[in-house]
Structures are given as C-alpha cells and as structure tokens.
Amino acid sequence: MKKLLSKRITVSAVAVVAVIAFFSFKSGDDKNFQIAKNLNVFSAIVKELDMFYVDTLDPNKMVREGIDNMLYSLDPYTEYFPEEDQSELEQMIKGSFGGIGSYITYDTKLKRSVISEPFENTPAAKVGLKAGDILVEIDGKDLLGKNNAEVSQMLRGQAGTSFKLKVDRPNLKGTYTPLEFTIVRESIQNPSIPYASVLENHVGYINLSTFSGNPSKDFKKTFLDLKKKGATSLVIDLRNNGGGLLDEAVEIANYFLPRGKVIVTTKGKIKQASNSYKTLREPLDLDIPVAVLVNSATASASEILSGSLQDLDRAVVVGNRTFGKGLVQVPRSLPYGGTMKVTTSKYYIPSGRCVQAIDYKNRNEDGSVGAIPDSLTKIFHTAAGREVRDGGGVMPDIAVKQEKLPNILFYLVRDNLVFDYATQYCLKHPTIASPEKFELTASDYTDFKATVKKADFKYDQQSEKILKTLKEAAEFEGYMKDASDEFKALEKKLNHNLERDLDYFSKDIKRMITNEIVKRYYFQRGSLIQQLKDDNDLEAAIQILNNPAKYKEMLSVPAVAKK
C-alpha cells in the first residue's frame, strides 16, 4: 500500500511539475509555444490524412505544397530548395552549374524540347549542337512528352560525367537527319561580361550580365583594358541583370568611388543581418564620366550599384525604372540536405532609401501583391541635393521611352515562325557577315512572309478585341441601334490583313529575325552587338557623356534649383 501510494505521489508530482513547466513556458515565451503547438497540429494532420484519407497521398508532394504556400505568404524571395534542387540554388549563388551550356525551348507541336541557343565554348557548342536540334533521347531514354524542366534536369549533372544524346536535325529537304553525340558535362559559368568594346567618340561599353560568381574581377580587367584602348568615358549596361552577390556590387562601386564611402546598409531583426558595407580599397578612376543603363529587369545587386552611383552623384542613370528588389536573402541549411533561401533584411543605399517596390506585407483579397503607389513613396536626397525617391526601384536621371512591340510579333515568336525561319536560313548560308555588318535583305524578308503565309498563321489583333468589347457594351447599354453603321464602317477598316501587318511592322519583325540569325553564328556576343546597332538607351547615354557641361550639371545641381 505504501509503495502504491508512493508511486501515486511521484506521478502526481511529475504531473504538477509538467503542468508548471508547461504554463511557465507558455507565459514566458508565448511565441515559442505557438510555434511548437502549430507544428504538432501540422504533424498530426499529415499523419491523420495519410492514415484515413480516401485516396493515397504523396507525402512529399503534400508537405512541399504546404511549405511553398507558407513561404509564399511572406515575400516573393524566401524559397525552399530540397536536396534534389541544390544545383538550382548553387547556380543562383555561384552563377555556375554542371551541364552542357545551352538554352532549350519546348515545341508544343512536336512535344519535345529543342536546342534554342548553345553557349560559346561550352560542351554543347564544342560537339556541334545547333539551334533547332530536336532532343530525342538521353542515354536511351525517350524524351517525348517530357517538359523543359525534366529535360534540363537530365542534361545537368556533375562536371566530368558523360552521356549520349540523340537529336533530329532539320535539313533542306524538310525532313530530319538523326545524329548522336557523346557529351562530357562541364562546369558552366555564364559569362559575367558577354560583351565590351570602345564605341564611337571613345565611349567605353561594358555589358555586365550578373553579380553571381566573381564578376568584379572580370569587370576590373575589362575596364582597365578599355582605358588602354582609348576609352575616356564609360557606359555600364545593367539591363536585364537580375542581381547576385551584394559584396560584388560594392566592389564594383568601389572602382569609381573613394575609399570609406558607405554603399549599402542592411537592417534585419537579428544583429547578424544588420551591416554597413563601405568601399575598402583605393578606386580605379574617380574622374571618368559614367552612365549606367537600366530597365525594368534590373534588380537587386544591380540596383545597389546603379542606385549608389546615383545617390553619390557619380554616374548618370539612363533608361527605365528598375525592378525594385530591396530585400537581402541568405541560405540556411535544413535537415536532409535541404536549404532555405530566406529574406533576412532590407537594404538601404547611400541616400537612406530602400528601393523595394512590391508591397508584400499588404496583400490584395485574392492573395496577390501590388506595387507601392508613387503617392506613398518618400523623398530622399543625393549627396549633391538632387531629389530621389524610395519604394519603386531606381528612377533614371534620363528616362527613355520604351518602344512597345507589336502584337503580331508575340504570335510569330510563340508559334516558332521566327525561330524556324532562322533555322532554315542557317542551313542555306554556311557563313554570314560580321554582326556589325549583317543585315536582312528585302529578298530574305519576302521569303519570311511567304513562310508565314504557308503556315496558315493566325493571330489576335488587339483592335479587334477592343472593338468586340465595345460592341458588347454598346448593345448592353442600348446604343447599338443608332451606332450600327459606324461600327460596320470601323470593322471594315480594321479588317484582319496579314500582308498589311507584316509590312507595317516589318522593322520590328526584321530586327527580331536578324537577332535570331546572328546569334546562331556569333552566339550571345553577336546578339548584343546586333541589338546595340539600334539602341535608344545607349544613344541617350552617349549623348550625355559627349556633353561634359550637361553631364556635370545633371550630377551637381539640385532639380529644385533648375529654372
């Protein structure tokens, strides 16, 4: 009896201690309690569903969707990468991956992936793969019906491993020639500077495509080389540069700014996430005039470089408003080989502004996020006193109107008509002129138009869609009876006319075809040379660099003082 009573007292004491611990934990740290509670609930739900749900569940898929939806509710950049997706994360950080070095696209008619652009000096280019090659088999596995993500995963692998690739190559007979290649994967490092040159009037030009890897080293070498070749001013092209490593942006800014300048400050919840990044070395050139080209795809580290040079009045920014990514992510290791790229801080450039444009904290009713309206942005000032704003990316000092591409071009690209024409063109022309000199002839464009007509090409015209909507509104509101004749006359004028549209929009269509052809022979470098031949942003940058007085005035006089 004493033993039983002793046991009961002991159990009761343990229970009391547990209850005291439970309530002290809850009252002492309610947030930790809520986390533990919800994790237990989540775990219980998964187990109950696995045991009792009417259909068989895939636990990996179910939990992954739960994780992705949880992270989606935070901000657009916090992501989970399981062990099998580590190569994707590594590519983001280092700018490299093990593979063949080629873009692929999916042909919906063939239900197969197609080589769209092999990179220069990579395994794809070395073995002779060409744009237009249809991917048939990898190591005997048929690729029919596999999407681009699946095929890309099969093409990638550890550097030094090999595989056999079967392709069907289009020929001049309108059929396909089967080919087989043995390809050894390499570490693919996308070039951080695909093109650099000295342009007219001694203007140096550097196209910087990424801040992943170690681009500052390449930039320094390229810049000094351009100066040796006679460059007396510089254009840094950051258009379509999605960013990369913050440290690399600071290092490149240091080339043009004095030692000890604060370039960017990060502020987060924990001490380790809050830092100040200064220029640590002596600059390469404090005096050379600099213009930076930006557009809506200029993001993250690109905005740190362009924004800091603007805030410190060291460069004129030209183009269109940048993307507006003012958040910093760091990788955090997780169990079972996973990694989470988590947003730990916001960054602030020298004027004190944060360029974050997406208001992810205030979501719409459908869960989507919108941009911070201009009316809610705040005014900051550059070192010279010029007004700049936060909350919407980096606004250029010289805004260049962006040309809108015609609707027909979207459909020509979507239906692979431009791509397929370029493939046939290359079969007929073993060589072409250099990118600087190559032009599509009138005869070539006539051939393209014939190809389009033969393909029974159909496309939607925006004017027809708008007119249809207007007619429906007029009928609903009772205006159609009186406006019937006017609508008929307008419909007649807006009649679908393929020949007319191919001629009317020939400039834009020719430009797209020319670019597609040139990169087949001269890769990305040739494509950039071709695009720069008719580039309004670059022209505006060259104009300001060639006008020292205007350049100096733009960087030194506050906008409020200009009359």
| CA-to-CA dists, residue 488 to 491, 493, 528, angstroms | 5, 9, 46
Active-site pick, 102, 300, 302, 351:
300
Pairing of β 134-138 and β 162-170: antiparallel
Phi-psi sector, 339: left (phi>0), alpha (psi -120 to 50), beta:
beta
**What six digits make up the tokens of 214?**
């170690």
d(CA 32, CA 45): 20
Strands (E), 400-458: none
List of long-range contacts for 195-198, beta carbons under 8 Å, 24+ apart? 195/524, 195/525, 195/528, 195/529, 196/222, 196/225, 196/226, 197/226, 198/226, 198/229, 198/230, 198/231
Active-site pick, 237, 311, 390, 397:
311
Active-site pick, 325, 351, 519, 537:
325
Closest CA to 66 of 49, 87, 51: 49
d(CA 537, CA 310): 17
Residues 6+ apart with CB under 8 A from 211: 192, 241, 243, 244, 245, 246, 248, 249, 300, 301, 302, 305
| CA-to-CA dists, residue 339 to 57, 85, 346, 443, angstroms | 24, 9, 21, 55
Closest CA to 511 of 428, 453, 445: 445
CA atoms within 13 A on the CB side of 536: 10
Would you call 325 a catalytic residue per the annotation?
yes
d(CA 87, CA 73): 25
Residues marked active site are found at: 300, 311, 325
